[in-house]
Every structure is written in C-alpha cells, then in structure tokens.
C-alpha cells in the first residue's frame, strides 16, 4: 500500500484538495478541483499508475468528469466537476497516450473541450449529428435530427506520407471477410507497412444514450450486446456495477455460475481465435480442428443453458439458470475430453514449421509500447504486462481460488497464441474448482432480491473478460431507472497498440496481426 500513500502525499503536497470515499474494497473515489486535472495525471504517471478509464456524467447544469487509475489491483477513481456553460478541462492525453481516444469520444458526445489535447480531430462522431450538438447531453433527444441519408465522413485528416514509391491503401469500412466494419489507412513502400491509422466509429449505435431510462433488466440485456463475443463479461460488469449501486450482495452460488460462464466464454473465444490465426496463415488443418472444438463447446452451452453464447443468463442480482449436479458432471467430462483433444492438436501445431515461420517475430508489440497504451488482457500479457483483474483485484468467485496468469515477453503473434493456449488450461482448472464448490451449496439459490437504488447512486463494475479488464460505470436516477451507462471495453486500449505492432510488417501479414489482437469494434464504438 505504500505507493498509494506516497502518491496521495504528493497530491496533497501539490496543493490539490482531495475528498475521498470508499466505493468497494478495491475502489476509492476522490473528488478534486478541475484546474489540477492535468497535474493529477502527471503525478499519477510519475507514480506508475495506469490510466484505466475516462468518462463524463451530466448532473443538471454541470458535468462530472472521471478518470480511473490503477496500480497493483487498487483502483482510484478521480472525479472533477465543471461548469456546463463552457465545459473545459486540461487534457490528460498529454500525459497518458491511453486517454487520447477516450477524451475525443467524451468531447464528441458531451462537448467537453480538453485543452491542449494532442489531437484535435473528432473520433466517434462522423456525420450522424452536427458538429456543435452533443448526443449525451440531457437536452439532446434520443431520436436526434438525422438526415434522410447520413453522408460519409470525408473530412477526417489522415496522416500522409510522401516519397518515391510510397503509396496508400484505404481499407474498409466494409471488409472482405466476415468481420466488423472499420477503416484502416496504410502507407506502404513495396510490401512494407510504413504507417497504419485506424478510423473507427462506424458501428456507433448510441449505446450510452439508449441506456438512459432503462430498468436493471433492460440494462443487463443491452450490456450483453455491447460486444456479442463478450456477452457474459459485459453483462457481468454491468450487473456488478448495478449491484454495487443497489448495495446488494448476490448469492455465492450465483457468483460461481457467473465465473463458470465467464471462463467458458474465454475458452470459446480462445479456441476460435487460435484457429482463426492459423486460418490467416493458410494452416487449414488447425483452423478446422479448433472450429470443431469451439462448435462442440457452444453446443454444450446450448444444451445445458439454452444459448450458444450464454446471452442474458446473468441478470441484476444473480443468474437465471442453475448448474445442477448432472450438468456439473457433464461439464467436467467435457473438460477432460477437451484436454485430450488439445494434447493431440497443440503439439502437432507446434511442430508445423510453416506456422512457426509466419507467427514468430511477426506483429511485435514491445513491452514498453504495451505499457504506454495501457494494453490489456492477453495482448498485454503477451508483452510482459503482468496484470489480471481476477488475480490482482479479485471479485467473487475468484477471491478464494488460485488464478494462474500466464505471461510472455516476446510480444509477437506467437506469444499471443501461446498465452491464449495457456489461458485455456488455466480456465479449465478454474471451472473445475468452481464446480467442486457448487456441489457444496444448495441448488436453486441464484438471485438476491433487488433493492431500488436511491437517486444518484452509482457503481463501477470491473471484471476480466476474455479480452481483458472491462470497466463499467452505472448510475441510477429516480424510480429504478438508469441515468448513465458507460462500458469501457478493453479494446479501447488495445486498438492503438495494433497500429504500432504492424509497423515494418508486410501488408499481407496485416490480417494475421489483426486477428492475433482481435479487438472489438462494437465495444469501442458504443
């Protein structure tokens, strides 16, 4: 804890007034003055705190702007309040690269100006609403005033490169494969990538706005669709935040089932993506085998719980489906079968020299760059970022099991491949432990009774999804209605490292580099 005392002492020494309250065992809230916003970031950066999220909340004529920092599993949520008539705040993106797109998002949706921000271009807004309108302000109607046909955004200034033999490749938003839409702008010489710039925001669906006024049930459903491949973890984070706001504790059995669902989701995605990486280097054998394993895994989800991706199974207050003894035993048998399959497959893949040739050293993300952008999840862990919410800020049911966190420092596609394989094994062990604990508890105790949160109560849900740490803020207004929902997907911090990882790779290797990151478009566009 000494780093925290040192950090807070430095803040006090800098004459920054701080008022603190504890939100949960891992999270504390600090209110500070707006003039010190950037200075706070400087002190936090000097104390090696990670910038973990930034978002705003409108309260009457004022805006509360938040920045969350983390170190060693302790989260410090800072809040400052600014006047709504001309909302301005010194930018933290000058200190933290991770804050860059987040602040631009907040600007586009709230009209809060971040002074000295290194990038004056918009981010989330294309042309669906006018330049000086801000959808997340209370006076902006959810329907907006859109044109019959929203024109494409042609005003975005991409970085340009000039020189003999330099050329540009624009890709997207509609891609050649079955993937989400986004635009990539490459500058290349021959086959070599000189620069890559991402332009996202195409799947901005107004999630934060349409969440307003929802009931806890409605919000859980929406959260489950922030990013469809992460439906379990996003629903969990939102429900955790809502339960914190309501001040309720969910039954132990429900936490164990949530844990099993989250680990099943992690395994399903890791299996699929390991296969997809192989597909992108034309190693069809491994692709088909991994897709087969993933299909079997999803079918079990369907047979036992009624949904292949476990959508809408987590609800505010608990879960709505039990895992009885028979289902538990079935899951344990399936785990052993998967282990046998992987024991045959993975060594065969490891011995493939063509796979080795394509994934070793390609798509290199250095530990320094990973740290700079606050890279999360398996991408961070493949580049030496030793962090996992389940181990470092454990929430039920992870607080009394051993969570093994595989780390590599090589930072290439192969590292991400192997970290994901090791995480499958770690997850299988976790599921076994959770099922063993389930057997000791009475069946059917799945839901805590809901307590309507007072007006203004809020919570911050933090869980480790398969892509990494998800941080979700939920605030309630009157009558059990949600007044603010902000889900921060790990992709928000993992997209920019991809821009760096592809440098000096060849253009044809971009798909496999991209797949090895597999960031969410929907989760970051909101």
Partner 1 sequence: MLDIFKKIVTTGIVTETYKAAYDEELATLGIEIKRRIDKQFSGSLAIRQVDAGSCNGCELEIHALNNPFYDVERFGIHFVASPRHADILLVTGVVSRHMQTALLRTYDATPDPKWVIAMGDCASCGGEFGTSYASCGAVSNVIPVDMTINGCPPTPLVLLKSLLTLMEK
Residues that bind partner 1 (CB under 8 A): 126-129, 135, 140-146, 149-153, 173-174, 176-181, 201-207, 209-210, 221-222, 225-229, 231, 272, 285, 288-289, 291-292, 294-295, 298-299, 302, 308-309, 311, 344-345, 347-348, 351-352, 520-522, 525
Which residue, 164 or 351, has its beta carbon nearer to partner 1? Answer: 351
Which residue, 115 or 282, has its beta carbon nearer to partner 1? Answer: 282
To partner 1, the closest distance from the beta carbon of 206 in angstroms equals 3
d(CA 57, CA 15): 26
Which residue, 43 or 359, has its beta carbon nearer to partner 1? Answer: 359
To partner 1, the closest distance from the beta carbon of 144 in angstroms equals 2
Q: 13-16: long-range contacts (C-beta < 8 A, 24 or more apart)?
A: 14/39, 14/43, 16/40
Provide the pairing of β-strand 74-83 with 27-32.
parallel
d(CA 271, CA 30): 41
Q: HSE-up of 377 (CA within 13 Å, CB side)? A: 30
Which residue, 179 or 396, has its beta carbon nearer to partner 1? Answer: 179
**According to DSSP H, which parts of 351-442 are helical?**
353-359, 367-372, 377-381, 389-392, 413-438
The separation between CA 90 and the C-alpha centre of its own chain, rounded to angstroms, equals 25
Nearby residues of 327 by Cβ (< 8 Å), 6 or more positions away: 304
Residue whose entry in the numeric block shows the structure tokens 């938003």:
173
Q: Which helix (H) or strand (E) holds 53?
A: strand 50-59
Q: Are 311 and 234 in contact (CB under 8 A)?
A: no
Which residue, 205 or 478, has its beta carbon nearer to partner 1? Answer: 205
d(CA 256, CA 438): 7
Which residue, 11 or 233, has its beta carbon nearer to partner 1? Answer: 233
To partner 1, the closest distance from the beta carbon of 202 in angstroms equals 5
To partner 1, the closest distance from the beta carbon of 302 in angstroms equals 7
To partner 1, the closest distance from the beta carbon of 525 in angstroms equals 8
To partner 1, the closest distance from the beta carbon of 268 in angstroms equals 9
DSSP state for residue 504 in the 8-state scheme: T
Q: Are 439 and 328 in contact (CB under 8 A)?
A: yes
Which residue, 1 or 149, has its beta carbon nearer to partner 1? Answer: 149
**Cα dihedral angle (35, 21, 318, 404), rounded to 10 degrees?**
80
To partner 1, the closest distance from the beta carbon of 135 in angstroms equals 5
């Amino acid at each position: 804890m000494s780093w925290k005392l040192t950090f807070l002492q430095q803040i006090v020494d800098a004459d920054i007034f701080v008022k603190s309250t504890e939100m949960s065992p891992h999270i504390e809230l600090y209110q500070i003055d707006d003039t010190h916003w950037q200075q706070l970031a400087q002190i936090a950066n000097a104390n090696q705190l990670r910038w973990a999220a930034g978002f705003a909340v409108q309260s009457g004529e004022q805006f509360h702007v938040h920045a969350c920092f983390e170190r060693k599993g302790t989260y410090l949520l800072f809040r400052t309040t600014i006047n709504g008539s001309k909302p301005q705040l010194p930018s933290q993106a000058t200190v933290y690269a991770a804050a860059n797109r987040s602040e631009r998002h907040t600007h586009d949706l709230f009209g809060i100006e971040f002074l000295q921000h290194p990038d004056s271009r918009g981010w989330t807004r294309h042309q669906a609403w006018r330049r000086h309108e801000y959808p997340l302000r209370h006076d902006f109607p959810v329907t907006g005033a859109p044109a019959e046909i929203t024109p494409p955004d042609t005003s975005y200034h991409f970085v340009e490169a000039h020189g003999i033999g330099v050329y540009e490749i624009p890709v997207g938003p509609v891609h050649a494969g079955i993937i989400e839409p986004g635009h990539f702008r490459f500058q290349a010489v021959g086959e070599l990538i000189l620069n890559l710039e991402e332009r996202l925001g195409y799947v901005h669906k107004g999630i934060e706005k349409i969440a307003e006024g929802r009931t806890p049930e409605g919000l859980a459903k929406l959260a489950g669709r922030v990013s469809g491949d992460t439906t379990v973890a996003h629903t969990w984070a939102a429900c955790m935040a809502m339960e914190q706001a309501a001040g309720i504790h969910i039954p132990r059995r429900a936490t164990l089932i949530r844990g099993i669902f989250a680990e099943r989701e992690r395994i399903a995605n890791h299996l699929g993506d390991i296969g997809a990486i192989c597909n992108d280097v034309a190693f069809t054998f491994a692709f088909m085998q991994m897709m087969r394993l993933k299909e079997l895994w999803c079918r079990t989800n369907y047979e036992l719980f009624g949904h292949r991706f476990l959508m809408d199974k987590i609800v505010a207050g608990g879960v709505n489906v039990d895992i009885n003894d028979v289902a538990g035993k079935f899951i344990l048998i399936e785990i052993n079968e998967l282990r046998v399959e992987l024991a045959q497959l993975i060594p065969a893949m490891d011995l493939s020299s063509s796979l080795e040739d394509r994934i070793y050293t390609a798509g290199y993300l250095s530990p320094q760059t990973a740290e700079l952008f606050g890279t999360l999840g398996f991408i961070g862990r493949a580049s030496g970022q030793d962090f996992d919410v389940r181990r470092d800020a454990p929430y039920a049911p992870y607080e009394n099991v051993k969570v093994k966190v595989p780390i590599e420092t090589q930072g290439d596609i192969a590292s991400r491949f192997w970290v994901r394989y090791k995480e499958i094994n770690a997850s299988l062990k976790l599921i076994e432990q959770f099922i063993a604990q389930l057997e000791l508890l009475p069946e059917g105790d799945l839901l805590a009774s809901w307590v309507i949160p007072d007006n203004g109560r809020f919570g911050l849900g933090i869980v480790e999804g398969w892509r990494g740490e998800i941080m979700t803020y939920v605030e309630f207004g009157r009558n059990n209605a949600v007044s603010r929902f902000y889900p921060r997907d790990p992709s928000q911090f993992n997209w920019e490292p991809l821009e760096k990882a592809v440098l000096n790779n060849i253009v044809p290797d971009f798909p496999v580099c991209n797949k090895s990151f597999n960031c969410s478009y929907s989760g970051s566009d909101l």
